[in-house]
Amino acid sequence: MNDLATTTTADRPRGRYDAGVLKYREMGYWQPDYTPKDTDLICVFRITPQEGVDAIEAAAAVAGESSTATWTVVWTDRLTACDSYRAKAYQVDEVPNTGAGTATPQQYFAYVAYDLILFEAGSIANLTASIIGNVFSFKPLRACRLEDMRIPVAYVKTFPGPPTGIVVERERLNNYGRALLGATMKPKLGLSGRNYGRVVYEALKGGLDFTKDDENINSQAFMHWRDRFLYCTEAVNRAVATSGEVKGHYLNITAGTMEDMYERAEFAKQLGAPIVMIDLVIGYTAIQSISRWCRNNDMILHMHRAGHGTYTRQKNHGVSFRVIAKWLRLAGVDHLHAGTAVGKLEGDPMTVQGYYNVCRDAVTQQDLARGLFFEQDWADLAKVMPVASGGIHAGQMHQLLSLFGDDVILQFGGGTIGHPAGIQAGATANRVALEAMTKARNEGRDIDHEGPEILAAAARWCTPLKQALETWKDVSFNYTSTDTPDFVATATASA
């Protein structure tokens, strides 16, 4: 498709700038011979053109609408070095298993390169306003999805990145060589501050490293935020004293205004909290502001990806979570919910591993089977600790460890608090399962196959683990994933 003989009129100014409507491909937005520069930002979109719309014209339209174009020709382009500002669609591939003979209309992967000058240094808001600002509502496209983005090192270096990062977080926690354990406090709603702190204390004393506010715990009628912060601080300090370990509770500082959020963050700092939490729905500028505050105040920043499913889940339209994860690593969060693969929430295992790579790699390699279209050099940016949360339990420990390794926070909410012998027992079951599985893996045992046996052996001396395994032995969430990678067998992405 790329060798399609196409003449652009961009190099013939007289015709190009006559008043009227031109095809996007004729305005310089389709350049099949273009080789992206190392400093270009590259996007791959999955596009579904409206019936009768040519794929290349659709790709050119995406390039146009996400950079300089408007629907008609404007002479004012000629006052500018407009070739720099035009995004260039340079490659279009058919998506396998779509189109004729399938249940899905024909889709295409459109590769578009953007010159570095298009983007403001250190601003996710500017980056996203450019790339996803208009084009997803563009009528000639039935649907459009941003699948992946290669961010040039030159642009990566304009972001401070995570305020703490995996390595420094572990140093602060004095915790090395095993996954971290957490739990979200349940029920989500209705607990008073005093009752809430009880759950925190029990879970941390039982052996967890962190407990967590849920995304919608802010400052409602049943529990004012200050009350929550004070009781949680008491609970954390008591649990630290009983174990000698550094522990924390993610205090959710999400609020209606930045002023409220800073007020809550300052109070958390005053109480000696090691970590605060925000929800994705506060927006990129708010995230970058709080990240800056965290960097200035030695605070770990936990991000709950609340709301992402509205635009990440459907394969034909929206933004892939791997792109969101890249933006959040640049914006600067320390923890990011990135899926469990085996739990209750959406996530094909390979796709989820791709998100984890984006969070943790020094250089993310192109890996089409994991949905990673490009090599991404992170230029020594600190790494984000991924969080696996949602419908997981101790009986899956071997799978979780095998899928995600050690640099992950495993969060068992129901899998801690729902334990028949109580919250402490639930926490202990998880901690023992994790340590036993980590030890066995290091000893060279094949945990994928011997996992259940290793857990059963530990359960013989650990009653809470025995009870957990019995309670949740039949719980699994085996549904077909909505979002799985599609790729052309031969690598097509720009290296």
Partner 1 sequence: MRLTQGAFSFLPDLTDEEIRAQVDYGLEHGWAWAIEYTDDPHPRNTYWEMWGTPMFELRDGAGVLYALNECRKACGNGYIRVCAFDSTRGVESIRMSFIVHRPDNEPGFSLDRQEGEGRNVRYRLHGYAADRSPDERYRADP
Buried b (16+ CB within 10 A) or exposed e, 54-84: ebbbbbbbbbbbbbbbeeebeeebeeeebee
Closest CA to 328 of 302, 300, 351, 346: 302
- x-marked contacts with partner 1 along 159-198 as a string, rule CB under 8 A: --------x--xx--x-xxx--------------------
- 298 contacts partner 1 (rule: CB under 8 A): no
Site stretch for partner 1 (CB under 8 A), options 23-31, 42-50, 265-273, 350-358: 265-273
Tokens of 278: 């925000």
- 366 contacts partner 1 (rule: CB under 8 A): no
What is the distance between the alpha carbons of residues 368 and 487, in angstroms, rounded to a whole number? 6
- Count the Cβ atoms, other than its own, within 10 Å of residue 326: 23
User: Is 205 a residue of the active site?
Assistant: no
CA separation, residue 317 to residues 144, 168, 353, 402 (Å): 5, 37, 21, 31
- 379 contacts partner 1 (rule: CB under 8 A): no
DSSP 360-397: H-SEEPPBGGGTB-S-EE-TTPPPPEEEEESS--GGGH
Contact by Cβ (8 Å): 90, 32: yes
Residue 251 dihedral angles phi and psi, to the nearest 5°: -85, 115
- 463 contacts partner 1 (rule: CB under 8 A): no
- 240 contacts partner 1 (rule: CB under 8 A): yes
Q: Catalytic: which of 88, 212, 304, 308?
A: 304
Contact by Cβ (8 Å): 412, 464: no
- The binder of partner 1 chosen from 242, 314, 365, 463 (CB under 8 A): 242
Sheet holding 318-319, edge to edge: 88-94, 108-114, 41-49, 141-150, 318-319
Q: How far is the CB of 64 from partner 1 (least distance, A)?
A: 39
- The binder of partner 1 chosen from 94, 245, 367, 377 (CB under 8 A): 245
- The binder of partner 1 chosen from 162, 207, 343, 414 (CB under 8 A): 207
- 271 contacts partner 1 (rule: CB under 8 A): yes
- 442 contacts partner 1 (rule: CB under 8 A): yes
- 243 contacts partner 1 (rule: CB under 8 A): yes
Q: How far is the CB of 170 from partner 1 (least distance, A)?
A: 7
> Which residues does residue 211 pair with via DSSP β-bridges, in sequence order?
183, 249
Nearer to partner 1, 207 or 451 (CB): 207
- 383 contacts partner 1 (rule: CB under 8 A): yes
- 362 contacts partner 1 (rule: CB under 8 A): yes
- 244 contacts partner 1 (rule: CB under 8 A): yes
Nearer to partner 1, 62 or 173 (CB): 173
Nearer to partner 1, 47 or 359 (CB): 359
Q: What is the size of the binding site for partner 1 (CB under 8 A)?
A: 38
Tokens of 395: 């009986």
- The binder of partner 1 chosen from 106, 439, 475, 477 (CB under 8 A): 439
Parallel, antiparallel, or unpaired for β 300-304 and 363-364? Answer: unpaired
Parallel, antiparallel, or unpaired for β 41-49 and 141-150? Answer: antiparallel
Q: How far is the CB of 163 from partner 1 (least distance, A)?
A: 17
Count CA atoms closer than 13 A to 208's CA, side-chain side: 34
Nearer to partner 1, 322 or 431 (CB): 431
Tokens of 412: 């068992």
Nearer to partner 1, 380 or 448 (CB): 380
Nearer to partner 1, 170 or 186 (CB): 170
- The binder of partner 1 chosen from 1, 189, 246, 369 (CB under 8 A): 246
Site stretch for partner 1 (CB under 8 A), options 18-26, 49-57, 59-67, 441-449: 441-449
Q: How far is the CB of 207 from partner 1 (least distance, A)?
A: 6
User: Is 304 a residue of the active site?
Assistant: yes
- 438 contacts partner 1 (rule: CB under 8 A): yes
Query: Which residues make Cβ contacts (< 8 Å) with residue 256, sequence separation at least 6?
Result: none
Nearer to partner 1, 187 or 272 (CB): 272
Residue 68 dihedral angles phi and psi, to the nearest 5°: -95, -15
- 36 contacts partner 1 (rule: CB under 8 A): no
Closest CA to 132 of 373, 331, 324: 324
What is the distance between the alpha carbons of residues 8 and 24, in angstroms, rounded to a whole number? 9
- 398 contacts partner 1 (rule: CB under 8 A): no
Q: Could you say which DSSP state residue 277 is in?
A: E
- Helical packing angle, 447-459 and 423-442, nearest 10°: 130
Instruction: Point out the residues that are catalytic.
Output: 186, 304
Which stretches of the chain bind partner 1, using CB under 8 A? Answer: 167, 170-171, 174, 176-178, 207, 230, 233-234, 237-238, 240-246, 270-272, 362, 380, 383, 428, 431-432, 435-436, 438-439, 442-444, 458, 461
